[in-house]
Structure 1
Amino acid sequence: MRPTTAPRGLPRPDRRLVAAAAAQVVLMAVLLGLYGYGRHLADGRPGEAFEHARELWDLERSLRLPDEAVFQREALRWDGWARAANEYYVRVHFPATVLFMAWIWIWRRHAWPRVRAAVLLSAAVSLVVHFLYPLAPPRMLPGHGFVDLMNTYGPSAYATEPGEGMTNQFAAMPSLHVGWALLVAWGVIRYGRGRWRYLAVLHPVATMLVVVLTANHYWLDGIAGSAIVIGCLAVAVRLEASQARDSVEE
Structure 2
Amino acid sequence: MGDVTVTSSEGREKAVPPSVTAASRRVRRPRRPRLWFEILLIAVSYWTYSLIRNAVPEQKSEALRNADWIWRMEHHLGIAVEESVNHTVNSVTWLIVGMNYYYATLHFVVTLGVLVWLYRSHPGRYAATRLVLFATTAVALVGYYLYPLAPPRLMTGGDFIDTVVVHETWGSMASGDLKNMSNQYAAMPSMHIGWSLWCGLTIFALARLPWVRILGLLYPAATLVVIVSTANHFWLDAVGGMLCLAFGYVVAWTVYGALPHRLPRFPTGSTPENPENPAPRQSPDPRLDSPAEAQRPV
Considering the TM-score relative to the shorter chain, is it more than 0.5? Answer: yes
What is the distance in 1 between the residues matched to 2:53 and 2:117? Answer: 27
**Equivalent position to 2:219, from 184, 203, 206:** 203
The list of structure 1 runs, each at least 4 consecutive aligned residues, that deviate by more than 4 angstroms after superposition, is 159-164
Contact 1:208-1:222 at 8 Å conserved across structures: yes
The reply to whether residue 60 of structure 1 matches residue 74 of structure 2 is yes
Structure 1 residues 164 and 79 mapped into 2: Cα distance closer, same or farther (>3 Å)? Answer: closer
More helix by share: 1
What is the distance in 2 between the residues matched to 1:239 and 1:202? Answer: 29
User: How many percent identity over aligned positions?
Assistant: 30
Residue in 2 aligned with 1:237? Answer: 253
Q: Once the 2 structures are TM-superposed, how far is the Cα of residue 80 of structure 1 from its aligned partner?
A: 1.9
Residue in 2 aligned with 1:247? Answer: none
Q: Once the 2 structures are TM-superposed, how far is the Cα of residue 113 of structure 1 from its aligned partner?
A: 1.8
Aligned-partner SS, 2:257: helix
Letter in 1 for 2:215: L
Structure 1 residues 167 and 45 mapped into 2: Cα distance closer, same or farther (>3 Å)? Answer: same
Summarize deviations over 1:207-230 as a string: whole Å, max 9, x none.
000001000011111111022112
Letter in 1 for 2:235: W
The reply to whether residue 191 of structure 1 matches residue 206 of structure 2 is yes
Residue in 2 aligned with 1:137? Answer: 151
Residue in 1 aligned with 2:165? Answer: 151
Contact 1:83-1:155 at 8 Å conserved across structures: no
The reply to whether residue 215 of structure 1 matches residue 217 of structure 2 is no
What is the distance in 2 between the residues matched to 1:96 and 1:163? Answer: 23
More displaced 10-residue stretch of structure 1: 153-162 or 101-110: 153-162
Using the size of structure 2 for normalisation, the TM-score is: 0.71
What is the distance in 1 between the residues matched to 2:185 and 2:227? Answer: 15
Contact 2:164-2:175 at 8 Å conserved across structures: no
What is the distance in 1 between the residues matched to 2:90 and 2:175? Answer: 25
Residue in 2 aligned with 1:3? Answer: none
Summarize deviations over 1:98-135 as a string: whole Å, max 9, x none.
11011111111111122111111111101111111111
Give the alignment's Cα RMSD to 1 decimal.
2.1
> What residue ranges of structure 1 are gaps of 5+ in the alignment?
1-16, 245-250
Contact 2:137-2:244 at 8 Å conserved across structures: no
Q: Once the 2 structures are TM-superposed, how far is the Cα of residue 160 of structure 1 from its aligned partner?
A: 6.3
What is the distance in 2 between the residues matched to 1:63 and 1:159? Answer: 28
Q: Once the 2 structures are TM-superposed, how far is the Cα of residue 164 of structure 1 from its aligned partner?
A: 6.0
Q: Once the 2 structures are TM-superposed, how far is the Cα of residue 162 of structure 1 from its aligned partner?
A: 9.6
What is the distance in 2 between the residues matched to 1:84 and 1:72? Answer: 14
**Equivalent position to 1:83, from 77, 97, 112:** 97
Rg larger for: 2
Structure 1 residues 160 and 203 mapped into 2: Cα distance closer, same or farther (>3 Å)? Answer: closer
Q: Once the 2 structures are TM-superposed, how far is the Cα of residue 194 of structure 1 from its aligned partner?
A: 1.3
